[in-house]
Amino acid sequence: MTRSRALSVEPVQLALEGAVARLVLNRPHVLNAGDADWVRALGAAVSELGRHPELRVVVVTGAGRAFSTGVDLTALADGQMTLAEFRAWEDAITALERLPALVLAGINGHCLGGGLQLTLVCDYRLAAESALIGLPAVKECLIPSMALYRLPRLIGLSRARELILLGDSISAREAERYGLVNRVVPDAEFSSELEAMVRRGLELPAASLAASKQLLADAFDRDVAAFRAKMEARFRECLASEEHRAAMDQIRKRTPR
């Protein structure tokens, strides 16, 4: 891509700006809660991202004053959200998880249920101080999908049990203490700090980033010997890459002989 262009995939908006993609959850009138149309739009947006291997950074945020409050309870009560929609929701966020680009979650407000599940597949979670974070599924006689798998790996089983089995929400600062979000910033600084993270992401070599992401995804599920074999194969690819040679050229230029 050589110029910025926008794809309106309502009720999810996707903008492609060179090596950066911005995915905005766009149902602000219901705090970006997801109904069947939202799920289909999310899947379409993530599929589009997968068609652009040149992307280096993907930023996910919510329109208005929330990131996402998860499933639209009105749609759920009306029978519009069936197991098929929940499966499609999980398929979309799993595809997002597998992108080679750095995926940043900008948690600009309430982040609950399926909204939090979406952030768990992101590589970095930046939260505004006013954000409220939780997994209330148990209170609606639901289970929080693959957060049951991802959350204990992120914050440990004890904290995961607390959030999942009690269904209570916590503040952004408490989520930071849990290790659930990487960093919390004052609301007034949120946008500038998110853009700073985008710039940092663009500075990273794509080859080593993609290799590290793939290896981290396997870190809990392979034995040591199999993991090491895969690691060494990806290490070899990084050493042979143009990006590695360029990084070494920069080091040689900086280092006096």
Same domain? 133 vs 100 = yes
SS3 105: strand
In angstroms, the Cα distances linking 30 to 62, 64, 67, 127, 196 are: 11, 10, 11, 20, 29
pLDDT in tens, 13-50: 999 999 999 999 999 999 999 999 999 999 999 999 99
H or E element at residue 184: strand 183-185
User: What percent of the chain shows pLDDT beyond 90?
Assistant: 89
Question: What local confidence, expressed as pLDDT, does residue 2 receive?
Answer: 35
**pLDDT of residue 6 exceeding 80:** no
Integer Cα distance of 23 and 7 in angstroms? 10
Same domain? 189 vs 212 = no
Within the chain, residue ranges assigned H as helices are 36-50, 73-77, 83-97, 114-120, 147-155, 157-166, 172-178, 190-202, 206-217, 224-239, 242-254
Q: How many domains does the chain have?
A: 2
pLDDT in tens, 116-164: 999 999 999 999 999 999 999 999 999 999 999 999 999 999 999 999 9
- Give the domain-ending residue among 202, 223, 238: 202
Same domain? 213 vs 133 = no
Same domain? 192 vs 153 = yes
Same domain? 160 vs 210 = no
Same domain? 75 vs 194 = yes
- Give the domain-ending residue among 162, 184, 202: 202
Range of the domain at 211: 206-254
Same domain? 134 vs 56 = yes
Q: What are phi and psi of 63, to 5 degrees?
A: -75, 145
pTM of the model: 0.91
Tokens of 39: 């799920």
